[in-house]
Amino acid sequence: MEMNKVDSIIDAYNADPAFILEMMYDIQDEAQYVSRENMERIAEKLELPVAKVLRLATFYDSINLEPQGKHVCKVCTGTSCHVNGAEKVLHQVEKDLNVKAGGTTEDKIISLKEVSCMGACASGPLAQIDDEYHENITPDKIKQAVDQLRQK
């Protein structure tokens, strides 16, 4: 992402540190992720230590620190989903995609993310593929969903 675009996003919030998350989300909306260079620029313009910006960015699952694939598959392994078998679902996807959670397939088609709660605990295990939620997901169902995704 061009640095002048990053600057304009920061300036839109008057470089106010209270809106640092909003700045990162706006950058992510444009570029799909927030690069190390983007975080350094935020730190510089907000007059914050780079380490503080990095800590904040890494704290939130929803901020991507790496380029993402064409599709994003999220599997919730929060407590409620975990109790209902989310680990088996996650392992199935990792096996099918041949990528660990947090990574992207070699062909850059699918990124896999493990998240801690998506706010629908009663419907778990829960997965999200792009904008579509999959409730009560099982290893077999996620395999079908991922297979379909590869054909898109």
Q: Identify which of residues 10 and 118 has a Cβ nearer to ligand FES in the complex.
A: 118
Q: Is 1 in the site for ligand FES (CB under 6 A)?
A: no
CB of 80 to ligand FES, least distance (A): 4
Spell out the residues 6+ positions from residue 2 whose beta carbon is closer than 8 angstroms to its own. none
Helix axes 36-46, 50-59, angle to 10 degrees: 130
Q: Identify which of residues 56 and 117 has a Cβ nearer to ligand FES in the complex.
A: 117
Per-residue binder mask for ligand FES (CB under 6 A), 112-131, x = binder:
-----xxxxx--x-x-----
Structure tokens at 31: 């570029």
How far is it, in rounded angstroms, from Cα 145 to Cα 134?
A: 9
Coil vs helix vs strand at 31:
helix
Residue 86's φ and ψ, nearest 5 degrees, are -60, -30
CB of 98 to ligand FES, least distance (A): 25
Positions 43 through 82 that interact with ligand FES (CB under 6 A): 76, 78-81
Helix (H) or strand (E) holding 128: strand 127-129
Q: How many residues sit close enough to ligand FES to count as binding (CB under 6 A)?
A: 12
CB of 82 to ligand FES, least distance (A): 7
Q: Is 137 in the site for ligand FES (CB under 6 A)?
A: no
> For residue 125, is the peptide bond before it cis, meaning its omega torsion is within 30 degrees of 0?
yes
Question: Where along the sequence are the contacts to ligand FES (CB under 6 A)?
Answer: 76, 78-81, 117-121, 124, 126
